[in-house]
Amino acid sequence: MTITVFNPNWFYSEVLSEEQHATVVDLFQEFLDNDDNFQNPWDGRLLSSFMHDNNTNAPWNEFLDVIKPVCANLINPLKPKCGVKLQPQEMWANTYREHEIQETHIHSSPVVHMSMVYFHQVCDNDTSFKFVNNSFSEYSASGLYELFDIPNQQISTPKVQQGMLMFFPAFLPHYVSPHLQSDYERITFSGNFGIVPVD
């Protein structure tokens, strides 16, 4: 007999090559250096180009060209049952100064199936990005968490590094804990994708 874990959540990650990451740095340096491209869309928790008029000035199409091989690599491990393609919906940049955070949220909508985060500038062993297990409270309230050592976590913290791309189902709750470094800004790109069947 054995314990079988079912309905697991997942994410896909891949680190860009040094050359690819350097290309992204060059593409976005001017945009990221201009504070006029950012606003406080979430009550001042961080600065973001999300829904900012200037967000369209960022080189998102060129970024998509750089990450195109990663998008292709993503599909086969998911074992598609038919031909599918990723359809970009929107992308934006986030900057975190000391103590800034992003609250727990999801990205899903009828046209958004997959979300992405690109860790453009993070410290070594960054632990700020976290997934939330919404079923944990029910599991814990039942008393099972205190009685059995069965895999079940309220929070999951992926190991990330600078230059890493991460894709995950858009319905997965996630958040960013307070940025605790005062000597540099933590910078990430976020994106949403639809997944559509193709012949």
For residue range 57-84, list pLDDT tens digits in order: 999 999 999 999 999 999 999 899 999 9
Q: Name residue, tokens 């103590």.
A: 99
Does pLDDT of 19 surpass 90?
yes
Question: φ, ψ for residue 61 (rounded to 5)?
Answer: -65, -40
Q: What is the pLDDT of residues 108-121, one digit of tens each?
A: 999 999 999 999 99
Q: What are φ and ψ of residue 63, in 5° steps?
A: -60, -45
Sorted by sequence, the CB contacts under 8 Å of residue 79 that are 6+ apart come out as: none
User: Pairing between strand 164-169 and 114-121?
Assistant: antiparallel
Phi, psi values for residue 168, rounded to 5°? -155, 160
The reported pTM is 0.91
Q: What is the pLDDT of residue 139?
A: 64
